[in-house]
A and B are shown apart, each in its own frame.
Chain A
Amino acid sequence: MTTLTSTQRILRKLPRDNAFYFFTSIGNYTGVSAASLEEFVKKILEVNVKSLEFHLYRGDFQKWIEETLEDKNLANEIKKLQQSKLIGNDLRDSLYLMVSKRYEKLKGYSYA
């Protein structure tokens, strides 16, 4: 169950060192980063789709969402998406839908 405190924690703004940095391959940083779940949702639409493929199939999104944002539910959802083997804009659309839905739900909790 997601409590108000844990919701606020998931939605918090992170320090620079803990942000998610988007790469397209080993060592190639795109210049795009996200320091909160809100920013992460926006950046899914902006970043090169190769970056989404690179991070999803390495398990980087799941790891960051579970260990840094501390949202185990969303991390588990993303793990399932990994098994779908989606690529390109299909992957972008599915990931965006999943993460934005979760974000809106958490935002609703925090205003309740």
Chain B
Amino acid sequence: MKIKSQTITLDDLDRNILRLLQSNAKKTYSEIGRKLSVAHSTVYERIKKMEEQGIIKKYTVAIDLEKTGKKPITAFMTVFTDPKESEVVARKLSEMREVVEVATSLSEELLIIAKVMAESQESLHTFIAQKVVPLQGVLRIRTSIATKKFKEGEFPIEI
């Protein structure tokens, strides 16, 4: 792993370790080492460095909420904003429990795209009406409720 200004260059071993961790973050150093034909101590050192550099941000868990008895709905919300306020609106959305992803986009007009989850359509509407719309700078909102999910995941690291 080499650091050039703010960019960190990964070698093949780093990328292979990341690929294996992306598929299962519970894999042990030994398991990864065996798969990649390197010592587990090498794997440990590489992972530790990538954690320190912030390349590995966190280890998380993907939960199938339906199996826990909950059936939350997912919606994609496009928030049209006053350009002067969009940064603040995006930050405020990021702090809300129901909002799981937020990004800004510059198309014809400045807008924020957010993935939102809620217990029901009614709670989604209440959330948008009471928490999002009153934010200073929100001009209008378009929301699409997802009906069937075909894929969900992380962008896989290229080898």
Is B20 part of the contact surface with A, judged by Cβ < 8 Å?
Answer: no
B75-116 near A? 1/0 per residue, CB < 8 Å:
101001000000000000000000000000000000000000
Instruction: Kindly identify which residue among B124, B125, B134, B143 contacts A17, using a CB–CB cutoff of 8 Å.
Output: B134
Q: Which B residues are in CB contact (< 8 Å) with A30?
A: 140
Residue of A nearest to B139 (CB): A31
* Contact between A26 and B133, CB atoms less than 8 A apart: no
- Number of A residues near B (Cβ < 8 Å) is 12
Of B77, B129, B133, B141, most A-chain CB atoms within 10 Å = B133
- Most B-side CB within 10 Å, residue of A16, A17, A28, A29: A29
The reply to whether B141 and A26 form a contact with Cβ atoms under 8 Å apart is no
Query: Binary interface profile of A, 46-85, with partner B (CB < 8 Å = 1, else 0)?
Result: 0000000000000000000000000000000000000000
| B121 close to A26 (CB less than 8 A) | yes
Bound form: Cα–Cα A23–B80 in Å = 14
Question: Is A23 a contact partner of B142 (Cβ separation < 8 A)?
Answer: no
Q: Is B47 an interface residue (CB 8 A)?
A: no
* Cβ of A24 to closest chain B Cβ, rounded Å: 10
Give A29 Cβ to nearest chain B Cβ, in Å. Answer: 4
Kindly list chain A residues whose C-beta atoms are within 8 Å of the C-beta of B133: 21, 29, 33
With an 8 A cutoff between CB atoms, is B21 at the interface? no
Q: How far is the CA of A74 from the CA of B117 in the complex (A)?
A: 35
* Contact B129–A28 (Cβ < 8 Å): no
Flag whether B128 is at the interface (Cβ < 8 A): yes
**A27 contacts across to B, CB distance below 8 A:** 75, 77, 124-125, 128, 141-143, 145
Q: Which one of A16, A19, A23, A33 lies within 8 Å of B125 (CB-CB)?
A: A23
Minimal beta-carbon separation of A47 from chain B (angstroms): 12
Distance of A19 Cα from B75 Cα, bound (Å): 24
Judge whether B134 and A29 touch: CB under 8 Å: no
Residues of B with C-beta under 8 A to A33: 133
30 contacts between A and B (CB under 8 A): A16-B134, A17-B130, A19-B134, A21-B133, A21-B134, A23-B125, A23-B129, A26-B121, A26-B124, A26-B125, A26-B145, A27-B75, A27-B77, A27-B124, A27-B128, A27-B141, A27-B142, A27-B143, A27-B145, A28-B141, A29-B128, A29-B133, A29-B138, A29-B140, A29-B141, A30-B140, A31-B80, A31-B139, A31-B140, A33-B133
A residues neighboring B (CB under 8 Å): 16-17, 19, 21, 23, 26-31, 33
